[in-house]
Amino acid sequence: AQTVTQSQPEMSVQEAETVTLSCTYDTSENNYYLFWYKQPPSRQMILVIRQEAYKQQNATENRFSVNFQKAAKSFSLKISDSQLGDTAMYFCAFMKPYSGGGADGLTFGKGTHLIIQP
């Protein structure tokens, strides 16, 4: 079974600063998918970024980028020029490839509560 670990329960930074959220995972799979989702106080889960394990290039989406280290099984999220609207719970998630006709769901970490201070 896969496990996803987020070691920072809470982080707080000033607006406009850069912040990095950590995520490590454990799997025996070679191909898989990694995601960062954010969940603001509204509780709506919003996709931030997606990374395929077979791609060496780190994914980026505007101010959000990842540092994917496959050998170390590490998948950190960097938020540049942080904004008040970035305040949310951030979840790291793992998805296995298809196997035997089945489609496993996402395995989530416990989350990091990120607070952006004005």
Partner 1 sequence: KAGVTQTPRYLIKTRGQQVTLSCSPISGHRSVSWYQQTPGQGLQFLFEYFSETQRNKGNFPGRFSGRQFSNSRSEMNVSTLELGDSALYLCASSLESVGQAVRETQYFGPGTRLLVL
Q: Which residues bind partner 1 (CB under 8 A)?
A: 33, 35, 37, 42-47, 50, 52, 91, 95-98, 101-111
- Residue among 57, 58, 63 nearest 19 (CA): 63
64/108 with CB nearer partner 1:
108
Estimate to the nearest angstrom the gap between the alpha carbon of 38 and the chain centroid.
8
We find the least distance from the C-beta atom of residue 111 to partner 1, in angstroms, to be: 7
11/13 with CB nearer partner 1:
11
We find the least distance from the C-beta atom of residue 114 to partner 1, in angstroms, to be: 17
43/118 with CB nearer partner 1:
43
We find the least distance from the C-beta atom of residue 83 to partner 1, in angstroms, to be: 22
Q: No. of H helices and E strands in the chain?
A: 0, 12
CA distances in angstroms from 91 to 10, 34, 44, 47, 61, listed in the order given: 12, 11, 12, 10, 16
